[in-house]
Amino acid sequence: MIIIIEQWKKKLVSLVVVLTLVLVFAAAFPTLSGILHDKVPALSGWFEDEHPSGNPMRVEKPSGTRFDRAVDQFVIKLQDFYYDDNKQ
């Protein structure tokens, strides 16, 4: 059975162009993520491996400013307010 496709050369060229673009982006992504490893926070977390410390009850050191603690307290109070409001 022979299938006749009109303008097959044009369609074949466009298919090759699309496949080439996909391959270029697939090859460029690991390179770009390696370059932007320290500059982009979203990418830097991908490569960090957290090794177990052996202590299941470990407590991380508080790292934050006074502003961060104030915002955390505000969020907790706001959650309590809405929880109490929905409870009634």
Q: Note down the domain range covering 32.
A: 8-45
Is the CB of residue 75 less than 8 Å from the CB of residue 67? no
Q: Is 57 part of any domain?
A: no
Stronger pLDDT, 53 or 41, i.e. the higher one: 53
Identify the pLDDT of residue 1: 57
Residue 16: pLDDT over 90 = yes
Q: Is 24 part of any domain?
A: yes
Residue 48: pLDDT over 80 = no
Q: Is 66 part of any domain?
A: no
Q: Is 82 part of any domain?
A: no
Number of domains in the chain: 1
For residues 4-29, average pLDDT = 89
Is the CB of residue 37 less than 8 Å from the CB of residue 44? yes
Is the CB of residue 5 less than 8 Å from the CB of residue 11? yes
Q: Is 61 part of any domain?
A: no
Q: Is 19 part of any domain?
A: yes
Identify the pLDDT of residue 52: 67
What's the chain's Rg over C-alpha atoms? 27
Q: Is 17 part of any domain?
A: yes
